[in-house]
Structure 1
């Protein structure tokens, strides 16, 4: 691990700073931790401390949610990304592929839409579309 990666992974930011940087509430941040999407470090007093990598991950989660992807879909995408990152460590840089291909994202979204249909509930996108047709 190089110095830049060490600095990016250092847990130094309290939740109040993370809230300002990501525009997420403390409740949302803790919710993502409960779902094991992030795992901040803890001080001896049990306070959460976040790294710059945690901030990036929270912003990525926020972006996925804004695109209408549910928690199960986000977990799949992040798992695929982590798998590809591990594969990149093994492969030379010239041979590495994009982290998540468009096809993989479409497959996850398709699965999510099928899941939403099975439970007879509209997806977030369907709810957003209806507000434009008054």
Structure 2
């Protein structure tokens, strides 16, 4: 099982996700109803969240705190799914994108394609 498959394993209960994200159970269920996350269900129908779900919820929370509307967040999530992921980019493409972001002067609150993904710089060569 590779790292990406492990990131999608349903491991966390809603209580654990509440502690990790700072969101209430009601907020988490609402974001699920809105189609922003899709946690797996256990045989007993309990939600089980993956690392990917938790990261997505933390991103949603950050955007909401920055004043984004739910409509805008839904649109941004859809764009992120349709765009290439960081893992699909070559090192040269990553370098060029980071350079563009720095030259544009994106603020720290702006969502970068590379936010939190430094693993590519620690690869075994």
TM-score by length of 2: 0.70
TM alignment of 1:1-134, pairs within 5 A:
3-85=2-84, 89=88, 92-95=90-93, 97=97
**CA deviation string 1:21-61 (max 9, x = no partner):** 00100000000000000000001110000001100000000
Q: Which runs of 5+ in 2 are unaligned?
A: 107-125
Alpha-carbon spacing, 1:50–1:87, altered in 2? closer, same or farther (3 Å): closer
* SS in structure 1 at match of 2:83: helix
Deviation at 1:87, TM superposition (A): 9.0
* SS in structure 2 at match of 1:94: helix
The aligned length equals: 100
Deviation at 1:72, TM superposition (A): 0.4
Larger Rg: 1
Find the aligned partners of 1:69 and 1:19 in 2 and give their Cα distance.
21
Q: Which runs of 5+ in 1 are unaligned?
A: 106-134
Q: Give the CA RMSD over aligned residues.
A: 2.4
Please identify runs of 4+ aligned residues in structure 1 that moved more than 2 A: 85-89, 91-98
TM-score by length of 1: 0.65
Deviation at 1:93, TM superposition (A): 4.5
Alpha-carbon spacing, 1:83–1:30, altered in 2? closer, same or farther (3 Å): same
Higher helix share: 1
Find the aligned partners of 1:51 and 1:87 in 2 and give their Cα distance.
19
